[in-house]
A = this chain, B = another copy of it.
Amino acid sequence: MTARRAMLDVLKGEPVFPPPLWMMRQAGRYLPEYRATRKKAGSFLDLCYNPDFAVEVTLQPIRRFGFDASILFSDILVVPHALGRDLRFEEGRGPLMTPMSAADIDRLDGSNFHQHLAPVYATVRRLRAELPQETTLIGFCGAPWTLATYMIAGHGTPDQAPARLFAFRHPEAMERLLAVLVDYSAQYLIRQIEAGADVVQIFDSWAGILDEATFEALCVKPVAEIVRRVHATHPGVPVIAFPRAAGSRYSTYRAKTGVTGLGLDWTVPLAQARELQAGGAVQGNLDPLRLVAGGRALSEGVGAILDALGAGPLIFNLGHGITPDAPIEHVEAMIRQVRSYTGR
């Protein structure tokens, strides 16, 4: 039970030595066993919606590295998919959807939502049964704003101009869209918790691209409402949010959303991260490219985080997902270094 308690202890604000450790996108292409299962599964969505495959790839990094936490293998876009939007993944192009107009918002159809996502809930149940007792199981969803960026543009863009412009031109339509996404995302997280998730994480990958007023309206407000609803049903379950690139806005984001843990991207200076620990656990924030480079770039990066944040409530993680070109030996070196940290 030690390690499982450890991550939950940290999320209560209590430092643990060594800090619990996992990696965003730890079930991924840098692992040969993942690539083998991916090949067998066919499409990326087949991997997400088939519990046999999804359980297998979720467990792979736990078997290999013994991470303290396991995150459900899925994709944030299954939520709009379950609301009737089309979705496909093309090799090298990422997710593709039909771009959405303001008129499409009233056509979102949640009548089949939980049936559509039944394989995800089955995956969570099987994971909780198959994972070692000491491994924390993390469920997740995308934040409403980040989902909206893909739904409106129909694909990833470097600066989410289509969704930002939509919000400026049609503020009421954007509010309606976010309200639908808040509602279903909260239900989705609650079902994952009821299927066995110990913690849930909300990924807001595009939080950092907004100006002050839109950050407040499109990121802070919807996430605060999801947290409120999850905690109304399951008050003891920690919610981590990751408002990537929120910069100087991380502290007001934490205060206003009421999240338990705060995911930090790699650009957050460590003095700021230490201040954020005063409000509760932080999770992060190694530049994933230090893991690719290895050597001194890796050991100095890991060391700086442990030195600055190890004495407080820290979940060691990358500041973004691991990249396919990260060598496995470097992951092993990072784990050894984190596990050798015993406080000071």
- Closest residue to A160 on the B side, CB-wise? B289
Query: Closest approach, in angstroms, between the C-beta of A239 and any C-beta of chain B?
Result: 23
**Do the beta carbons of A169 and B212 come within 8 Å of each other?**
no
Q: Contacting chain B: which of A66-74, A130-138, A262-270?
A: A262-270
* Chain B residue at minimum C-beta to C-beta distance from A269: B212
Knowing A209-B267, A213-B304, say if A292 contacts B165 (CB, 8 Å): yes
Closest to A210 in B: B267
Give the residue among A161, A297, A300, A323 with the most B Cβ atoms within 10 A: A297
The smallest C-beta distance from A63 to any residue of chain B, in angstroms, reads 29
- Residues in B whose Cβ lies below 8 Å from that of A267: 208-212, 215, 245, 247
Within 8 A of B (CB), among A260-281: 266-270, 272
Copies of chain A in the complex = 2
The answer to whether A213 touches B301, judged by C-beta atoms less than 8 angstroms apart, is yes
Contact B165 A212 (CB under 8 A): no
Nearest residue, chain B, Cβ from A272: B248
Q: A304 CA to B296 CA in the complex, in Å?
A: 45
Q: Is A92 an interface residue (CB 8 A)?
A: no
Residues of A in contact (CB 8 Å), total 41
Query: What's the Cα separation between A289 and B289 when bound, in Å?
Result: 31
Residues from chain B with a CB closer than 8 A to the CB of A169 are: 293, 295, 297
Complex: A305 Cα to B258 Cα, angstroms:
28
Please report which residues of chain A, range 145-175, place their CB below 8 angstroms from some CB of chain B when the two chains form the complex. Answer: 158, 161, 164-165, 168-169, 171
CB-CB nearest in chain B for A164: B289
Q: Other CB < 8 Å A-B pairs besides A168-B292, A249-B269, 10 of them?
A: A158-B158, A164-B287, A165-B292, A171-B297, A211-B290, A211-B319, A212-B268, A212-B269, A215-B269, A248-B248
26 inter-chain pairs at a CB distance below 8 angstroms, sorted by A residue, are A164-B287, A165-B289, A165-B292, A168-B287, A168-B289, A168-B292, A168-B293, A169-B295, A169-B297, A171-B297, A208-B247, A209-B267, A211-B266, A211-B267, A211-B287, A212-B269, A212-B270, A213-B300, A215-B267, A245-B267, A247-B247, A247-B268, A248-B250, A248-B269, A248-B272, A249-B269
